[in-house]
Structure 1
Amino acid sequence: MVAAAAAGATSLEAYRAASPVHVLYGSETGNAEEISRTIHAALGDHGLTPGVLSPMKAYAAAGFAPAGMPATPPGEASPPRPLYVLVTSTTGDGDPPENVRPFLRYLRRKDLPAGALGGVRYALLGLGDTNYENFCAAGKRVDGALRKLGAVRLGPRADADDAVGLEAVVEPFIASVYPLLVEAVAAAAATAGEGAPAAATDEATAPVAAVGGATAPERVGAAAPANGAPSAAAPANGAPPAAGVAVDAVPAMAAAAVTTAAAATAASAPPAVDAAAASVLDAEMADLVAAVAAAELADPAAAATVPPLLPPRAEVEHMSPSDATPVAPASAVLTPAVEANTVFTATLTAATRLTDDVEGDDSVKRVWHLELTPTGEGAAAASAAAYHPGDAFGVVTANRDEDVAAVLGRLAGGLSGDEVVRLVPTKDAGATAGTAPNGTSMAGEAIAAPTTVRRLLAERVDLGGVLKKSALRALAEHCGDDSATRRRLLFLSSRAGKAAYRRTITDAGRGLTRLLAEVAPSCAPPLGTVLDVLPPLPPRWYSAASAPAVDGAVLHVALSVVTTADGRPGLASGSLDALASAVLARGDDPPPVLRLVRRTADAEDDIPGGAPRFRPPTDLSVPLVMVGPGTGVAPFRGFLRARRATVAAATTAAAAAGRAPPTVGDAWLFFGCRYEARDYLYREELEGYLADGTLTQLVTAFSRDGSGGADAPTTGATTAGATAPPPRNYVQAQLRARGAAVAALLTASDTATVYVCGDGAGMAAGVHDALVEVLAAHGGQAVGGVAGAAAVVAGWAKAGRYVRDIWYWGGGGEEE
């Protein structure tokens, strides 16, 4: 019996070795990638075989065959199969990240028969935000497509809500996924007759674990210990014990040993840079330092205290002056946040100030109208003229010169900014299956050609992006002999330091540049660490305010110059402000050249089942209500330019053919700003649309001009002697004031559509509430009150009759 058991164990080990766990992610800002790296790094500790770590776009190299999984001949044992952990975020109001779209297109292939992925076993974590209607839509779409093709999910899907804190779901998911994977390997081996029977973990029909809003987090899969600590039961499910040391050799420290009281004291202390805060940390963090030492010895309880040190995705290779390898050309895009085949160049050919803003007066933001003419360079230039009103274009930007210089001066080794280096992906980061079909490493996006250190810092990573806890954990290892700064960074990265992290990092909007200057003055990280832990530098997106039918290939955008948390102009808007000022003053000849990027979602056909595109209806008879205060009016200018041209062309064609003119539905626009005389964007043009019938109603709200409220006129003086300021007049107040007419317009047609564009934190939420209230009050008894109205609006969102293009500003919403 003993010999038989030993033979079974050996067979199970062999089966486990032949069943790698591939971790695939869909990431836009780096959250999903970081979580995936954390999961992948610990697979070996649980007796699992690490497979590739890659974006979902590299699905083929991760074992998804072009025509599905190979079938098992009848009567033969199923061969070992890979297992998958999938982590994907959702962008915008329901879109998948760019590096997920190829995988979704593969899963939607018509030549994939039912059951084509019957050999796939997977766990899935979705990241989303319940402020958006289509919460975690990307994860739900990947999950549904996989199951439709016969793949089996290991436990319920987990949906994490950034609105309440991702960690509430992410940590239990990570803790529970390893036992699920171990049991799946054992069950597959047992089914194949290679090992002892194991409990099946097939939960393909289990309810989805949707966590968002006020819903309590559900536990995912196997029982997870409190606070997401690694499961003590994992070794019992077939994994060997984690490598460690004898209990009495590890400092006595449980994950919760940093007390709630200590955390509260640290959170309420002055900023970490103050001497008082440093003293508090010195007094309270002895246990934490001991825990970190234990974590470095692989003690599970201590390792749960701070994020793990993740293996680097790439190494920096220094090129000698004798190397003749050409460096990346100036036109190359170095940030992994941009797909190279979506980039094109355009010249800034015209700039017009739209607001009467005054230097030093922040009551009105500076807004520019810019016109950009594609130059024909770049793979995406041919499709640039084929955009639709409502599509968005990104501006590829760079970090400020002073920030690059500041980080250069702090790098370990005293690197010169002009030194030429190349990034070489590491095998430890997950490149065990070679390269993806496009030649890039599975471990992450690599740079094809060498480039200078200065340019890497300027264009590849976001020096101002808010630092994740894993970044603080890594930076803590490069503080030299300054143990106080190391402890400070470790505390900020720990669970106990959650409140201090929020106050010191997220609320303050601190990126690497400010962290090195204000919080960690002794930290001198290597270049490789900086490139590894910082998020990629994302493009800045702007909605097209133009229409190809009128403007051809020339793109119009409305640009608001924003101010960052440290009081400086925004990275892209500040640069474009300077360029626009030069064009306006001198007519710069030749005009400035910009690198732009298109969203794949806009440039290609929609994926079936995807989020509705933010585009005007193709049917002129569809009634529409548009709500776009501030620069949120930009896409609606494009809508209306296209609508006027389409109506004119259809009317002319009908007259020539002796037919009746086309039926045109009502079109309402709600626009809001602060002052009618200072920031009423595109006023003459909008009033022209009202005059010629392109618009049926133009409703304005000027929040700083006078009294407001549901029944107040658009403008008016404050009542003399009033002791309190009147309520400000916002677009949602105007929606309520015209509630009966709006409800009649939306309920009289099965196609009437509402579009909302602008700030999601304040305006969009207020407009949503107003829309529900209007429908409940004026929609008739069939609506069923507020609850029924909310359900109707949710149904409109799913049907594409309520479409939003909204964004969130750091530190709260912008006022209209």
Structure 2
Amino acid sequence: MPMMPAQNNRLVLLYGSQTGQAKAIAEEIHDNAEKHGLRTDLFGLELTEKKFDVTKESCVVFVCSTTGDGEPPDNALKFFRRLKKKTLPSDHLSHLNFALLGLGDSNYTNFCNCPKTLDKRLQELGAKPFYPTGYADDAVGLEIVVDPWIEGLWTAARKQLGLPPESCTVAGETVAMETTNNTQTPGGVTDSVGPDSGETEGKIDIKEERTQTDGTEMSGHHDNDNPESDKVSEKTVTVTSAKCCEDNTDNCASLAHENNTHSVKSKNPAGVSITEQTVGPVTEKSTAAESCTDATDTEMTEKSGNNKTAEASGTGQHNLEDHTSNSNDTDGQVVDAVKEQAGPSLTVSVPPLSDSGLTLPAKPVPYLEVEFHPEESLCVEELPLQGGCPFPSAATDVVMATVTTATRLTRHDAVKTALDIELDVSNTCFKYEPGDSFGVVCPNNETEVQDLINRLGLTDHADMTFSVKVVQGSKKRAAAVPAHLPARCTIRHALLTCLEIRAVPKKAFLRMLVEHTSDAVQKRRLQELCSKQGTADYAAFIREPNLRLLDVLTAFPSCCPPFERLLEMLPRLQPRPYSVSSSPLVHPDRLHFVFNIVHIPSGNGRATACTGVCTGWLDRLTRHIQTGVYGDIAEGSLTTHIQPGVYGDMAEKIGQMSLNDPLTVPIYLRTNNHFRLPSDLSAPIIMVGPGTGVAPFVGFLQHREKQRELSPDAVCGPSWLFYGCRHRDRDYLYREELERLAAAGILNHLVVCFSREEPVAMETDGAPPARYVQDNLHHHGDEVGRMLLDEGAILYVCGDAKNMAKDVNEVITQIVQKYKGCTIQEARNTIFQLRQDRHYIEDIWT
């Protein structure tokens, strides 16, 4: 039973969120506060002075991320502008006590810049933290910091509000909860703000909208020419023993049909009720790993001698066809398979985890109900994109751009295939500058959607009109139908265009799947993967291989969640961002962009091979018109190359299409476009962009060429481009254009290296040969240092965040230290100031 509210038990929850992650965590805190005797009000930061006034609040919890180049999320911009007013006195918020949870990704240089700035500014205005600030790192799993931070928040908040120590009922017993000392530091908490101190722990810069969720393809448009990018993450696991059991899974397709048929015909939002086997004491506690779960329950579950392994094959890798047959492995085959495994896997558990009691997340409370309308016909092609819900970081409305050309820039034997696409944006409101980024509103893969429909047993209802509403009397606070779902929709359309079916399932998602898994062994393994004790296994077998829902369902064939639960748990399908690689002065009504076609192999838990959500779609969509700089591409048939890539539910119209029909792509211009040329043509620029990171710099240079042509008397500042790729004759992107610009004097220094060829020795005696862009930067350190520190040059870095951008930052720091003759910390301070002054600008991604 929740505690009776006290009069002084109110706190305000405020979130700044770009793509919904911070909002989901704030909602999680909101949902669970009542159980801890707290009363909360939840608001987005955009509602400042409308629904809340921070100057009138005494206890506030912030959950905030960062977007763009260290900017606040769009919904927090107004709040930050007002907070940053220089006229505010130092005691402006002296009445305020706050706690702050920042979300980020430590692959980025500007670690959690927005929450750090917020923390610093709040304290400058007199506000006092009542709980240590936490910084959660999406690179290693947000839940690693989020969960313990929230767990400690309850005690800290109660103490701040003057409430007595909390007590709660666990397994029928009342246990006094230990109060938290305010100096306690949750995992991942840091207090640092400002220039990099050289420490890496706890440092995150979330470019939330740039960290895509299809599991493998992030921004999708650039290449990483760094050796680290080719390495596979490895984990060493100490194994005591491996045990096995028989797979007694029922026919998957049959179970799926029964489960979702029940859900269709009944208004019971829970779908099929599956009795959970009791396996010993497992205390459920609330977790907030980016999903909307509800109140903490206490459930009894325990270890069992025959529940120490999961799926009989023990590999976690299956063909989809395997789950529509009734065949089962024999005991001997099961034993042999598990013995060969000799360690844990997605579906196999070993001691000590298999022998442990488990602490599970709270069961997500069902709150949506689907009602089908078989009598209604629906033209899904006329539905607004994602229900007309505004897209994150959108500076313009969505426009339909026509594909005019598609050119393969790499040779057939290159490691990656790069594709340059030209879009016609005439007769639209789309106006851009070189270096701007834009979003592509792409669908999921039709074949993958059909596989998921089949796996869920929803084939008969896939194209039937449905509506969705909140369950009457739902216990979820602030429950609402997701805004990105149309009022009338179909299962196929929702999965194809609205839901991120490639999203890596969070622990709360797995906890929901537990409730819809009939096989005891598979259920136990899913419990382990979502448990506190199974964090290492979750990281190794779910998060690191970037598994999707279909992979998990394939590995656990007795699991079949109702469709309503997927609507609740799957995040919104996000547009994919790309950088413009052209100049509007050269191509007034055209826009170019380039990307690598992402290929994801099967294995390591991934049931099937696939391509990136957006890059694969664009490749299929344009295959019949593609040409190549190394020779033309065969056109191929319409059925082979167009059908899988069509946007929307247009499969029935393929037969009416011709090769001459226009191909259109929904796009919009994104906000926070700081990656632009200086307005002063004479300003020096240094550009670093290996692989497809060169894209915006082609537009920069073409723009400068046209500017000089239009203003012959203008002085054009010096320009350097540091470019790298694998092979000179296979994947040197835009080679002819770059060499032409260099010959014309627009590009003063073109410095190129090839990582997979024998490196050319440096001219300087004793200098190592260059394989990567950072090597060439180091070699030209004196010129780079002089331009940056004495001549006011702007340094642009575009490409991979995990390796290249970090290595470039380290080399630039060394260059500054040597040039100034200062300490490493002084050099870091200089780099920090360059970033603040926008003389060191990045367009990077993971």
Q: TM-score, normalised by structure 1?
A: 0.72
Q: 2:579 aligns with which of 528, 531, 543?
A: 543
Q: More relative contact order in 1 or in 2 (CA 8 Å, sep 6+)? A: 2
* Structure 2 CA distance for aligned equivalents of residues 121 and 501 of structure 1: 35
Counterpart residue type for residue 131 of structure 1: N
Residue 671 of structure 2 corresponds to residue 600 of structure 1: yes
Alpha-carbon displacement from aligned partner over 1:290-339 (angstroms, at most 9, x marks no partner) = 64xxxxxxxxxxxxx22222334x51331424569986834423597824
Q: Is the 8 A contact 1:706 1:728 kept in 2?
A: no
Q: Quick one: structure 1 residues 508 and 345, their matched pair in 2 at CA, closer, same or farther if it must change by over 3 Å? A: same
* More divergent stretch after superposition (752-761 vs 154-163): 154-163
Q: Relative to structure 1, is the Cα distance of residues 210 and 162 closer, same or farther in structure 2, using a 3 angstrom cutoff? A: farther
Please tell me whether the aligned partners of residues 25 and 36 of structure 1 are also in contact (alpha carbons under 8 angstroms). no
Using the alignment, how far apart are the partners of 2:697 and 2:502 within structure 1?
32
Taking a change above 3 Å as real, the CA distance of residues 454 and 149 of structure 1, as seen in their structure-2 partners, is farther
**Per-residue displacement from partner, 1:276-303 (whole Å, max 9, x unpaired)?**
5699648766765x64xxxxxxxxxxxx
Contact persistence 2:284–2:297 (CA under 8 A):
no
* Distance in 2 (alpha carbons) for counterparts of 1:407 and 1:423: 20
Give the structure 2 partner of residue 315 of structure 1: 368
Structure 2 equivalent of residue 452 of structure 1: 490
Distance 2:63 2:352 in 1: 36
Q: Cα gap change, 1:201/1:739 in structure 2, threshold over 3 Å: closer, same or farther?
A: closer
> Which of 476, 493, 507 does residue 530 from structure 2 map onto?
493
| One-letter identity of the residue aligned with 1:209 | D
1:94 to 66, 70, 77: 70
Alignment of 1:457-468 (within 5 A): 457-468=495-506
Query: Is 1:169–1:217's contact at 8 Å kept on the other side of the alignment?
Result: no
Q: Once the 2 structures are TM-superposed, how far is the Cα of residue 153 of structure 1 from its aligned partner?
A: 4.1
The equivalent residue for 2:677 is: 616
CA deviations over 1:558-582 (Å, ceiling 9, x no partner): 1221112434222111111122222
Could you tell me how far 1:341 is from its partner in structure 2?
A: 7.5
Corresponding residue of 1:373:
424
Cα 1:34–1:744 change in 2 (3 A) is same
Residue matched to 1:483: 520
> Does 2:844 correspond to 1:806?
yes
> Is 2:327 the counterpart of 1:351?
no
Q: Which residue, out of 622, 625, 635, partners 2:696?
A: 635
Residues in 2 aligned to 1:754 and 1:601: alpha-carbon distance in whole angstroms: 18
| Match in the other structure for 2:100 | 124
Quote how far apart the aligned CAs of 1:401 are.
1.4
Aligned match for 1:391, one of 421, 436, 450: 436
Kept after mapping to 2: 8 A contact 1:672/1:701: yes
- Could you tell me how far apart the structure 1 residues matched to 2:494 and 2:675 are? 34
Following superposition, the deviation at residue 243 of structure 1 comes to 9.3
Pair 509,133 (structure 1): closer, same or farther in 2 beyond 3 Å: closer
- Corresponding residue to 2:386 among 305, 317, 333: 333
Following superposition, the deviation at residue 416 of structure 1 comes to 0.9
The aligned amino acid for 1:13 is A
Equivalent in the alignment of 2:598: 562
Give aligned pairs, total: 671
Aligned counterparts, 1:651-666, within 5 A:
651=712, 661-666=713-718
- Alpha carbons of structure 1 residues 563 and 711: separation in structure 2 relative to 1, 3 Å: farther
2:191 is aligned to: 209
Separation (CA, whole Å) in 1 of partners of 2:368 and 2:82? 32
Decide whether aligned partners of structure 1 residues 180 and 565 sit closer, same or farther in structure 2, where only a CA change above 3 A counts. Answer: farther
Structure 1 residues 281 and 632, CA gap change in structure 2 (3 angstroms): closer
Which residue of the partner structure matches residue 696 of structure 1?
748
Q: Which residue of structure 2 lines up, in the alignment, with residue 734 of structure 1?
A: 776
> CA shift at 1:209, angstroms?
2.7
Give per-residue Cα distances to partners, 1:182-241, cap 9 Å, x unaligned. 2343389xxxxxxxxx999899xxx963499856679xxxxxxxxx9989xxxxxxxxxx
Does structure 2 conserve the Cα–Cα contact (< 8 Å) formed by 1:337 and 1:537? no
The amino acid that maps onto 1:695 is L
How far 1:115 moved relative to its partner? Answer: 7.5
Question: Over residues 164-195 of structure 1, what are the superposed CA-to-partner deviations in whole Å (9 max), with x where a residue is unaligned?
Answer: 5544532332122112322343389xxxxxxx
1:175-574 to 2 correspondences below 5 Å: 175-186=151-162, 209-210=191-192, 271-272=315-316, 275=338, 281=349, 291=358, 305-312=359-366, 314-322=367-375, 329-334=382-387, 338-339=391-392, 342-358=396-412, 361=413, 363-374=414-425, 376=427, 381-382=428-429, 384-385=430-431, 387-411=432-456, 416-425=461-470, 432=478, 445=483, 447-480=485-518, 482-517=519-554, 519-566=555-602, 567-574=609-616
Contact 1:412 1:525 in 2 (8 A): no
Partners of 2:383 and 2:486 within 8 A in 1: no
1:110-189 correspondence runs (5 A): 121-144=97-120, 153-163=129-139, 165-186=141-162
**1:77-99: CA deviation from partner (whole Å, max 9, x where unpaired):** xxxx5854321222354133444
2:35 to 16, 24, 45: 45
CA distance in 1, matches of 2:728, 2:127: 57
Aligned to 1:90, what secondary structure does the other structure show? coil
2:625 corresponds to which letter in structure 1?
V
Match of 2:708 in 1: 647
Quote the Cα distance in structure 1 between the aligned partners of 2:578 and 2:138: 23
Q: Is the 8 A contact 2:580 2:593 kept in 1?
A: yes
Contact preservation (8 Å) 2:370, 2:467? yes
Change (3 A) 1:704 1:202: closer
Contact map agreement 2:782 2:815 (CA 8 A) in 1: yes
Maintained 8 Å contact 1:369/1:558: yes
Q: 1:99 to 1:405 in 2, by over 3 A?
A: farther
Structure 2 residue corresponding to 1:64, chosen from 39, 48, 52 = 52
Quick check: 2:368–2:564 contact (8 Å CA) kept in 1?
A: yes
- Quick one: structure 1 residues 310 and 123, their matched pair in 2 at CA, closer, same or farther if it must change by over 3 Å? farther
Give the CA deviation at 1:453: 1.0
Asked whether the equivalents of residues 378 and 489 of structure 2 are also in contact (C-alpha less than 8 Å), the reply is no
Instruction: Please list every run of 5 or more consecutive structure 2 residues that lacks an aligned counterpart in the other structure.
Output: 165-178, 204-282, 287-294, 318-336, 603-608, 627-633, 636-657
Counterpart contact for 1:412–1:527, Cα < 8 Å:
no
Matched residue of 1:474: which SS?
Answer: helix
CA distance in 2, matches of 1:791, 1:110: 23
Q: What is the distance in 2 between the residues matched to 1:492 and 1:529?
A: 19
Give yes or no for the alignment of 1:797 onto 2:835: yes
CA shift, 1:126, in A, is 0.5
Aligned to 2:639: none
How far is 1:797 from its partner?
A: 2.0
Structure richer in helix, relative to its length: 1
> SS of 2:711's equivalent?
helix
What is the alpha-carbon distance in structure 2 between the residues aligned to residue 145 and residue 674 of structure 1?
45
The verdict on how the C-alpha distance between 1:765 and 1:133 changes in structure 2, with shifts beyond 3 A counting, is closer
SS class of match (2:148): helix
Question: Which residue matches 1:302?
Answer: none
Question: What amino acid maps onto 2:7 in structure 1?
Answer: A
1:784 equivalent to 2:839? Answer: no
The AA in structure 1 aligned to 2:685 is: L
Note the residue ranges of structure 1 that are not aligned, 5 or more in a row. Answer: 1-8, 71-80, 189-197, 219-227, 232-241, 292-304, 433-440, 603-612, 652-660, 714-725, 809-816
One-letter identity of the residue aligned with 1:622: A
Greater Cα shift, 317-326 or 37-46:
317-326
- Within the candidate set 663, 673, 676, 2:728 is matched to 676
